[in-house]
Amino acid sequence: MNYRHAFHAGNHADVLKHVVLLALCDAMVAKPTPLFALDTHAGRGLYRLKASTALRTGESEDGIGRLLAEAPRDPAIARYLAAIRACREAHGHDAYPGSPWLLAHALRAEDRIACCELQPIEAAALKANFAHDRRIQLFERDGYGAIKALLPPKDGTTKIGRGLVLVDPPYEAQLDEFDAAIAALRDGLQRWPQGVFALWYPIKLRRTLRPFYRRATDLPAKSVLTLELLVRPDDSPLRMNGSGLLLVNAPWKLDAVLVPALGALRKALGEAGASHQADWLRAPE
């Protein structure tokens, strides 16, 4: 695996993913019982948007750069921008938080976090960035395997009943990765049926995702929701035109928080022909 997220940090896909992630965390910490969060493809957890890797693609300029300039008033987006500012106050003006940093920022002292990264250079950076946070366990290992190894989660000998699994693979081998991700969700739900699972996925041509949607509908879950943002028409298979989050067992009324945010993101980040949608593949009873 050669993928390095530093080339893409802060792009439109990161914006969508991290707005949703923070909304998930906030909904879940509203209840007092401790949580467990697993980030299966964590990357290094903290990025520099002025580094050569980020500047080479310039993707953050049309993502977080544009959103900071627009500053939409939507509450979920405002929450995300506040987290960006907090990260920069702690780490410098060009810092951008990955999902491990956002989990550490949003969750509480009593919660536990596990982050997995397979690529050695990225795993070493992840460990350096979070070595002093006792809530976080860091693993240089395959994230899909971690679902088998770490679920259901325990704090000592006591099982943790509530929590979140974020699955954010690189999709280097597109079709195989979709199959692997759905298989991992199915396995995770069998091990921890009450867990909330969030799977990020890229969108090139939406119609090619129909088999993925069908398989997601059949997951052994209480509910399955897709949230998608296309920043341009999905008329080319050669570029990522948008992305989505598949939310399994989403917290109650989370869609009411995030659907307006999708519309605001489309207006702030979209080109001509941009769109957004939220679909219940399986609606909660």
Q: Which residues are catalytic?
A: 168
Number of domains in the chain: 1
**By residue range, what is the domain housing residue 69?**
5-282
Give residue 1's pLDDT. Answer: 44
For the segment 197-254, what is each residue's pLDDT rounded down to a tens digit? 999 999 999 999 999 999 999 999 999 999 999 999 998 888 899 999 999 999 999 9
**What are 111's two structure tokens?**
């919660």
**What are 175's two structure tokens?**
């079709």
Give residue 174's pLDDT. Answer: 59
Maximum alpha-carbon separation in the chain: 54
Report the CATH number that the domain containing residue 165 is assigned in CATH: 3.40.50.150
Residue from 255, 263, 229, 231 nearest 244 by CA: 229
Give residue 160's pLDDT. Answer: 87
Mean pLDDT, residues 51-75 taken together? 93
On whether the CB atoms of residues 43 and 170 are closer than 8 A, the answer is no
Give residue 175's pLDDT. Answer: 61
Distance CA 91, CA 156 (A): 33
Mean pLDDT of the chain: 94
- Report the share of the chain in percent with pLDDT over 90: 86
Confidence of residue 173 (pLDDT cuts 50, 70, 90): low
